[in-house]
Amino acid sequence: MKILELDLAEKSYPIYIGQGLLDQAKLLINHIAGKQVMIVTNTTVAPLYLEQVKSLLSSFHVAEVQLPDGEQYKTLDTVNLIFDALLANRFDRSCTLIALGGGVVGDMTGFAASSYQRGVGFIQIPTTLLSQVDSSVGGKTGVNHPLGKNMIGAFYQPKCVVIDVDTLDTLDDRQYSAGMAEVIKYGLLGNVNFLTFLQENIQNLMQRNKDLIIQAVYQSCADKASIVAQDELESGKRALLNLGHTFGHAIENTLGYGVFLHGEAISVGMLMAAKLSQLLGDLTPQEIDQVQDLLEKSNLPISVDGKISASEFLSAMRVDKKVIDGNIRLILLKKLGEAYISDNYQKDHLDQVIGDFC
């Protein structure tokens, strides 16, 4: 087992990464303050891991709520199901919520924990690659709105994150590829050595070599933890973690949540950001080819196949948390492994990229 510490003073917490961690009760028990535990999962994950997690908590009063599975259910109405279960079971402010599932479950559970009785403890047990390398770490929680993704939420840190890579054994190939998009993001935005590692090992990673997966998950979490520790509330450097996300969120919002998986949308978004960076004179055609090759070898999409008009796309981009005073802030690349934040780009270049991809 590898252990990372996300350093946030009194809000610091460990991230446990390894195999067989869902057999180690102490990893959870050491971070549960009271006697009441609500496990929040979904209808896909519950048959696989719910009983295993419950068996670790025999000394607690444990209840559960199973949410419908899918990005389209990441709404306030679904979060209300968590509140209903907490209230029906008379859970008090000493309770702990455990998010058992992917990023949607984790985001909604964290948001519920931040709001229930003005804040209770929660633990992340991410079961998808995307949630293991990204959404479970850093304390971003929330839900989608029909007009914009993740527009309602809170920064709220978990007590710990338990990443058992054995849960990836039950993850389908499409979801696994979607998670690889976020892994690739870390190499592109700030860790060229990690990018080289991914380029050299992508075939074995796609064949799910466990040792390589643990290395990739650990490095992704380490890179994110380092950035979050410097900028918890995204007032500066943390925005770099949104590489490809303003483009990607526009895809999800315009097509409808769930048509493209989040990682699939981010794949296209990262390539759009790279293309814009090329138009600005920073990336070479050869570097664009490197990015596209890595995405394609991860079985990720590189276009939206004409499903969205350019005007729809730009309109959706304007409804995003990264829009400041009407300007769309984008994360662009000075070179592979070096990202920066910009709203000082030529708008006709942005229009050209959107037109090309649409």
Question: Which residues belong to the active site?
Answer: 118, 140, 182, 224, 234, 238, 242, 245, 249, 262
Query: Which helix (DSSP H) or strand (DSSP E) does residue 342 occupy?
Result: strand 338-342
**Buried b vs exposed e over 254-286: b needs ≥16 C-beta within 10 Å?**
bbebeebbbbbbbbbbbbbbbbbbbbbebbeee
Rounded CA gap, 351 and 314, in Å?
Answer: 8
DSSP string, 267-310: HHHHHHHHHHHHHTTSS-HHHHHHHHHHHHHTT-----TT-S-H
Which residues have a Cβ under 8 Å from the Cβ of 290 and sit 6 or more positions away?
199, 336
User: Are 123 and 158 within 8 A, CB to CB?
Assistant: yes
User: Are 111 and 135 within 8 A, CB to CB?
Assistant: no
In 10 A of CB 139, how many CB atoms? 20
Rounded CA gap, 188 and 236, in Å?
Answer: 18
Rounded CA gap, 69 and 343, in Å?
Answer: 36
